[in-house]
Amino acid sequence: MVKIACFSLLWISSAFAQNAAPMSKPPSVRFDIGALDKSADPCVDFYQFACGGWLKANPIPPDQARWGRFDELQERNRETLHAILEDAAKPAPGRDAVTQKIGDYYAACMDDKAIDARGIAALMPDLTRIRDLKDKSQLAPVVARLHRIGADVLFQFSSGQDFKDATEVIAQADQGGLGLPDRDYYLKDDAKSVELRQKYEVHVQRMLELLGEKPEQAKADAAAILRVETALAKGSLDLVSRRDPEKQYHRVAAKDFAALSPSFNWAQYYSAAGSPAFQSLNAVWPDFFKALDAEIKTASLADWKSYLTWHLVHAQARILPTAFVRENFDFFGKTLTGATEMRPRWKRCVDFTDAELGEALGRKFVERTFGKEGKERTLTMVNALEKALGEDIQQLSWMSPATKQKAEIKLKAITNKIGYPDKWRDYSSVTIKRDDPLGNDFRADEFEFQRQLDKIGKPLDRGEWSMTPPTVNAYYDPQMNNINFPAGILQPPFYDNDMDDAVNFGGIGMVIGHELTHGFDDQGRQFDGEGNLKDWWTAEDAKEFEQRATCLADEYSKFSVAPGANVNGRLTLGENTADNGGVRIALMALENSLANHVRPEIGGFTPEQRFFLAYGQVWCENEREEAARLSVLTNPHSPARARVNGVVQNMPEFRKVFSCKEGQPMTPVNSCRVW
């Protein structure tokens, strides 16, 4: 990926892109006292108290891996996008260029009869290119072509900000080329992992059969593909290590980089990929490229052809004939996440339009849903949260004045982006045809790939967004040192004009606090206010920080989602730090806003109680065991119950407002606090 470190509020993996509910009418997603389980004791299990009613009333729809309040809101946004796209797809005279583009993309995607009738014809030129390879020395241009059309083969190549000079955009080569979600899926020996690998191999075999291979041949090829991917997995860095920026930064001269894998023709690759010339790049994890070279030598040309063929069809499966779509869902939806039914086609096509032409569709979404006042209201909250974090830093007992001063400088340098980009991405060069769905995807992918490469050596664009406007999420970018809130999340249950301050601070206030705190979590703290990887801590304060962070890592490692599947406290450390800090400073901001005001009880709860309930309810979520297992292995965010109970366990403020006794489950004797 382009950004090595970019910290979001929640995780939407490609497997979870299956998400959406088969609802006919948009759900109500507001904060709701009726969603509580009043039979539960908030001091014993606060998550159950805040969410129990909701969890019971909202079983997971069959086409879902999980179903939570985030998904409800995403579903409501999807309904809006659906209406936009159905209108845009009508070939009315006088459609503007943006409407034509998204409308025709969507119409082509929806026409499954035409897609079935065409079969794999549109894939043939690329399948032939792979088949005609005569020698492993010819791999580079084929790999470049596959990268341009969105297939993840061998490695990843893109651009990114230099870690030590954030104003410079440089080329970046990273590990990649796997079909399963993470390298650990290839390396773990427990029964579940072995079984998943076997099912994956069968899936690869079936996809090759759908391309016309004989079963025997496809079986042998699938085995070879798994061998190649396992070799790449062995050369890859694990997810926890990848959270350490120092391990991900290796700026080297282009010729030294090429020497890591001399069996691959890098000059040919750059040229075919469309890269501008450059003298040096970030070879994110150099050992990977040595492992890649060894595998190029070891695997046969026939094995590499099978591998490339599989990844080509895998990358495009969603827009191929029905048999491919079903087989793809069967493994990546059913086996990996537990969903039992495929989503209706329109939902998939809405999501693909968002993925391929996100700022064209997002522009129409913003026109329909997001007014100027939305931006202003959010800005007021951001200012309140920044003030609270400043106060929090000043009050810390464990940090020296010298480091506090540096932290203050970094906090003041954080900028914010709210709703949508000032300047919309221009897709005018992307040709979208009503009768060419696969070609549309290829051309949109090529546009994006080229757009990333064109940044190399150019001035940094600080206005760019890495999420589309309808997205229900938010992020902090440590190298931009900015916080970003797409229009999609600035709605109930996060922000609700008709609700009291307590509920809004527990919702969007917590989100803002979470993103701000990312600037000071175990990763974010390693970057300075200018976005450079630079140590601004005294040695003593760094030690104090690490000790407190370890407390959090140990606390969260105790949460379990299924037998043998515990949360990884180190993988989720940054997010847990952000949750804990975010809720604390959101509560401080609420207290600031309540000072000298009347403090009404609403629905029988004080403002502070409503604050915690609003926080808890944002995370109400049912999840299938398969999805939960996938999540603890790969998701840097903790599961919902841990996100809620893990935080309140650390807050004396919570004990006070719910009158809990020392030693109850939500009030352990030992609690953790970083920020």
Q: At what angle do helices 215-234 and 301-316 cross, to 10 degrees?
A: 90
Closer Cβ to Zn ion, 281 or 578, answer by number? 578
The span of 4-12, 62-70, 390-398, 418-426 binding Zn ion (CB under 5 A) equals 4-12
Q: What is the DSSP string of 126-180?
A: HHHHHHT--SGGGHHHHHHHHHHTT---SEEEEEEE-SS-TTBEEEEEEE---SS
Closer Cβ to Zn ion, 513 or 607, answer by number? 513
The span of 1-9, 21-29, 230-238, 607-615 binding Zn ion (CB under 5 A) equals 1-9
Contacts of 149 (CB under 8 A, 6+ apart): 126, 315, 316, 441, 442, 445, 446
Nearest approach, Cβ of residue 21 and Zn ion (Å)? 24
Cβ 382 vs Cβ 416: under 8 Å: yes
Coil, strand or helix at 565 = strand
Location of structure tokens 């086609």: 345
One symbol per residue from 437 to 476: x for binding Zn ion (CB under 5 A), - otherwise; what is it? ----------------------------------------
Residues in binding contact with Zn ion, number by CB under 5 A: 3
Cβ 274 vs Cβ 210: under 8 Å: no
- As separate numbers, helices (DSSP H) first and strands (DSSP E) second, the chain gives 28, 12
CA distance readout (Å), 313 to 41, 138, 157, 634: 52, 20, 20, 24
Nearest approach, Cβ of residue 51 and Zn ion (Å)? 20
Kindly tell me the burial class for residue 82, based on how many C-beta atoms sit within 10 Å of its own C-beta (0-12, 13-18, 19 or more).
middle
5 touches Zn ion (CB under 5 A): no
List 579, 608, 623, 626, catalytic entry: 579
CA–CA gap between residue 472 and residue 488 (Å, rounded): 5
Dmax (CA) of the chain: 79
Nearest approach, Cβ of residue 475 and Zn ion (Å)? 7
Helix (H) / strand (E) element for 251: namely: strand 251-253
Which residue has the CB atom at the shortest distance from Zn ion?
Answer: 7
Which token pair is 151?
């297939």
First to last CA, the chain: 30
Nearest approach, Cβ of residue 575 and Zn ion (Å)? 5
CA–CA gap between residue 322 and residue 652 (Å, rounded): 55
Strand partners, 280: 253
Nearest approach, Cβ of residue 637 and Zn ion (Å)? 7
Nearest approach, Cβ of residue 521 and Zn ion (Å)? 8
Nearest approach, Cβ of residue 485 and Zn ion (Å)? 12
List 72, 327, 446, 515, catalytic entry: 515
* Interaction residues for Zn ion, span 563-582 (CB under 5 A): 575, 578
485 touches Zn ion (CB under 5 A): no
Q: Is 579 a catalytic residue?
A: yes
7 touches Zn ion (CB under 5 A): yes
Closer Cβ to Zn ion, 89 or 381, answer by number? 381
CA–CA gap between residue 357 and residue 363 (Å, rounded): 10
DSSP code for 110: H
Which token pair is 367?
């026109």
Which token pair is 296?
């190029």
Q: Is the dihedral of CA 496, 501, 502, 508 positive or negative?
A: positive
Coil, strand or helix at 43 = coil
Which token pair is 141?
């241009």
DSSP code for 460: P
Contacts of 448 (CB under 8 A, 6+ apart): none
Which three-class secondary structure string do you get for 359-382? HHHHHHHHHHHCCHHHHHHHHHHH
Coil, strand or helix at 485 = strand
Q: Is 221 a catalytic residue?
A: no
Closer Cβ to Zn ion, 122 or 474, answer by number? 474
Nearest approach, Cβ of residue 472 and Zn ion (Å)? 14
Closer Cβ to Zn ion, 207 or 578, answer by number? 578
Nearest approach, Cβ of residue 647 and Zn ion (Å)? 13
Closer Cβ to Zn ion, 29 or 578, answer by number? 578
Strand partners, 88: none
Cβ 73 vs Cβ 29: under 8 Å: yes
Closer Cβ to Zn ion, 209 or 575, answer by number? 575
Nearest approach, Cβ of residue 518 and Zn ion (Å)? 6
Closer Cβ to Zn ion, 7 or 545, answer by number? 7
Backbone phi, psi, residue 591, to 5°: -60, -40
Cβ 345 vs Cβ 22: under 8 Å: no
Closer Cβ to Zn ion, 77 or 576, answer by number? 576
Nearest approach, Cβ of residue 578 and Zn ion (Å)? 5
DSSP code for 525: G
* Interaction residues for Zn ion, span 575-614 (CB under 5 A): 575, 578
493 preceded by a cis bond (ω within 30 of 0): yes
Number of neighbours of residue 338 by Cβ within 10 angstroms: 19
Closer Cβ to Zn ion, 475 or 537, answer by number? 475
Location of structure tokens 């979590």: 521
Closer Cβ to Zn ion, 109 or 573, answer by number? 573
Nearest approach, Cβ of residue 553 and Zn ion (Å)? 16
Coil, strand or helix at 558 = coil
Closer Cβ to Zn ion, 440 or 638, answer by number? 638
Q: Which residues are near Zn ion by CB under 5 A?
A: 7, 575, 578
The residues carrying an active-site annotation are 515, 579
